[in-house]
Structure 1
Amino acid sequence: MIRFAALGIDHRHIFGMAANLLAEGADFAGYWTDGTPETLAGFTKRFPNVSRCDKAALLADPDIDLILISAVPADRADLAIAAMRSGKDVMSDKPGCTTLAQLDAIRAAQEETGRIWSIDFSERFEVPAMTRAAELVAEGAIGRVVQTTGLGPHRLNAATRPDWFFDRARYGGILTDIGSHQIDQFLFLTGSTDATVLRAYVANYANPIHPGLQDFGEIVLQSGDAHGYIRVDWYTPDALPTWGDGRLTILGTEGYIELRKYIDVGGTKGTDHLILVNGARCEKVDASDAGLPYFARLIDDIRNRTETAMPQAHTYKAMELAIRAQMLAEGTT
């Protein structure tokens, strides 16, 4: 049985990271977090039998195979490096790091130790519709993918957010943070191992009382004949009954797929709506039963030292491009 522990539970993403591993039969050995984050009550309610432990003790425990990290984004790199140098594999929340220097340090530690540094890009790995879309793309249902349009709106909930959420140096910027989801999907669906950031932009249009917040961002990418457009924001209106109307359009040479991941406004109830249009089919598919294979694959990778959940090079590249887009948008590169 794979045993895991958590270092840092500052973001609610830790709930899905841990729950999905437990669903695959892994054992939650304990957690450490700094201080009393806003997520603590929800965490202890969901995982009442998981004990808070000393960080050093968790890192020294030879029976712990995997460390989950959902600390403040700027702190994740140091925790990941400490975990790998303690002989543990790592699954980080996104973003896995916030600067290129941190990314270089993570790469050096990973290459030195041979451990796994993975990122749970939850907008791909925790969305069954993405599983089904990936299957259809692999089957050639829409031909060769030439463009993706990824939209990642989020609800701000400013009153419930901790101070670090509004501190650019601590959260990394909107493109490094939530933009990394969309870059991951672009690389994966187009089969790209690299890309050029042609345009990147960030702004604060609606939240002047939080000057450190970036509430709008966009990226234009290209990799050979593959093109990508990304828009992320913190503008989800209160009337929407979920945190964001996340959408993805995958354009192929022989058709297209549209995902309405979390809601289909005015349409079918539920989540994971997939629209497929090609030469023979024009239909909406309920993809909610497509599964979440990332977690089982990562467990297999830990056991077998393979890269079936996500290639290590892909993890590096997704974060590198997100950080470079952030730098371009801010005029620092």
Structure 2
Amino acid sequence: MASPGFAFAAIGLNHGHIYGQTEVMIEAGCRLKAFFAPEDDLAAAYTARFPDARRVADERAILEDPEILLVIGAGILADRAPMAVRAMRHGKDVMLDKPGATTLEQLAELRRTQAETGRILSILYSEHYTQPATVAAGELVKAGAIGRVLQTIGLGPHRIGNYQRPDWFWKRARTGGILTDIGSHQVEQFLFFTGSGQAEIVASQVANFDHPDTPEFEDFGDIMLRSDNAAGYIRVDWFTADGLPTWGDGRLFILGTEGTIELRKYVDIAGRPDDNHLFLVDRAGTRHIDCTGTKITYGEQLRDDVLNRTETAMPQEHCFLATELALTAQARAQRIEGRRPLERTV
């Protein structure tokens, strides 16, 4: 029998991931009771999707409501950790969009608050936990389909798009930088698929190659990292071409002692239609697996964790470590100046 749901609320709607965060909890049987957002346009769009939720004028109406057990949030990136601290101090469990923090100081405060309050802090890495092909790959790896995992290569290209980005999108202090932000998806997957409880950054780089009018913005970044049992490489960028029919050609390559897995998460370029493609090579041969029907369990697991005080959706230390490594890579990153090359004369 399914566990009963509970009331939850949203604080901060600045990233579209808030819709996926909301939907996984509703699909798990929970009830969206209220939301807080100072921006009228964002509030109107959210109300159109979730008309039963009440917009409140002050976040305290949510934080002081004893019926609300979980607060979700996708505010401006630098504002997420402070909101989570306030929510945990009010006895709420929290589910944030990535990144959960934009500085190591914010992360330290999150760790301290979580330890003192005993509340759950979960970060929904959507490129893993609500991405069917990635979930299916996790099941295969757990079953031993490719032996022991030795390396992951995660590629996370994104598209800026031809619409008006808010001013904060271009500001390093508000986003934390490219590795902190979209790089954190890939760091988390490295830890998950390699089963690494500790890891270190070997090298990292960032650049602004093609956006001279916004000098704080980083449009490219990469990371080399390793643990005691595995190695990893990550590349993220904002250069998805206009001709791609989705926002990014997200790829994940997993090398094992007995095989490999390649994920083409959102598109198979000039190949099979649709998304959620998994390619498996093992001792028996090669296979393509359509992962579209893979069950997404994150919402149900988080629901049960809130009710039972367990850690099935995401171990707490795993959540913190993924954030710490992304922040460390960002802090240590060498900057490529991004100057345009000299024009060829021959």
Counterpart of 1:46 (choices 44, 49, 53) is 49
Tell me the equivalent position of 1:7: 11
Matched, 1:282 2:286: yes
Check whether the contact 2:194–2:229 (CA below 8 A) recurs between aligned residues: no
The verdict on how the C-alpha distance between 1:207 and 1:158 changes in structure 2, with shifts beyond 3 A counting, is farther
How far 1:264 sits from its partner (Å)?
A: 0.7
How far 1:160 sits from its partner (Å)?
A: 2.1
How far 1:294 sits from its partner (Å)?
A: 1.0
- Report the residue type matching 1:51 in the other structure: R
CA distance in 2, matches of 1:295, 1:313: 19
- Report the residue type matching 2:160 in the other structure: L
CA distance in 2, matches of 1:257, 1:160: 37
Tell me the equivalent position of 2:303: 299
Q: What do the CA deviations read for 1:230-280 (whole angstroms, capped 9, x no partner)?
A: 000001111111111100000001000000001111111111100000001
How far 1:24 sits from its partner (Å)?
A: 1.3
Counterpart of 2:121 (choices 117, 120, 142) is 117
Q: Let me know the Cα RMSD of the aligned residues.
A: 1.1
Matched, 1:178 2:146: no
How far 1:41 sits from its partner (Å)?
A: 4.1
CA distance in 1, matches of 2:129, 2:226: 23
- Report the residue type matching 2:47 in the other structure: T
* Structure with greater Cα Rg: 2
Tell me the equivalent position of 1:313: 317
The verdict on how the C-alpha distance between 1:284 and 1:25 changes in structure 2, with shifts beyond 3 A counting, is same
CA distance in 2, matches of 1:165, 1:59: 27
Check whether the contact 2:33–2:52 (CA below 8 A) recurs between aligned residues: no
Tell me the equivalent position of 2:20: 16
CA distance in 1, matches of 2:77, 2:269: 32
CA distance in 1, matches of 2:38, 2:205: 33
Q: What do the CA deviations read for 1:113-148 (whole angstroms, capped 9, x no partner)?
A: 100000000000110111110010011100100000
CA distance in 2, matches of 1:159, 1:271: 24
- Report the residue type matching 1:174 in the other structure: I
Matched, 1:195 2:199: yes
How far 1:35 sits from its partner (Å)?
A: 3.0
CA distance in 1, matches of 2:10, 2:63: 10
Question: Which runs of at least 4 in structure 1 moved beyond 4 Å after TM superposition?
Answer: none
How far 1:159 sits from its partner (Å)?
A: 3.6
TM-score, normalising length: structure 2: 0.93
Within-5 A mapping of 1:82-121: 82-121=86-125
- 5+ unaligned residues in a row in structure 2: which ranges? 336-346
User: SS of the residue aligned with 1:310?
Assistant: coil
- Report the residue type matching 2:260 in the other structure: Y
- Report the residue type matching 1:129 in the other structure: A
- 5+ unaligned residues in a row in structure 1: which ranges? none
Bigger shift: 47-56 or 80-89? 47-56
How far 1:51 sits from its partner (Å)?
A: 1.7
Counterpart of 1:232 (choices 229, 236, 243) is 236
Bigger shift: 153-162 or 110-119? 153-162
- Report the residue type matching 2:52 in the other structure: N
Matched, 1:139 2:158: no
Q: What is the percent sequence identity of the aligned residues?
A: 52
How far 1:44 sits from its partner (Å)?
A: 2.4
User: SS of the residue aligned with 1:155?
Assistant: coil
Q: What do the CA deviations read for 1:93-130 (whole angstroms, capped 9, x no partner)?
A: 00001111111111111111100000000000110111
Aligned residues: 330
How far 1:225 sits from its partner (Å)?
A: 3.1
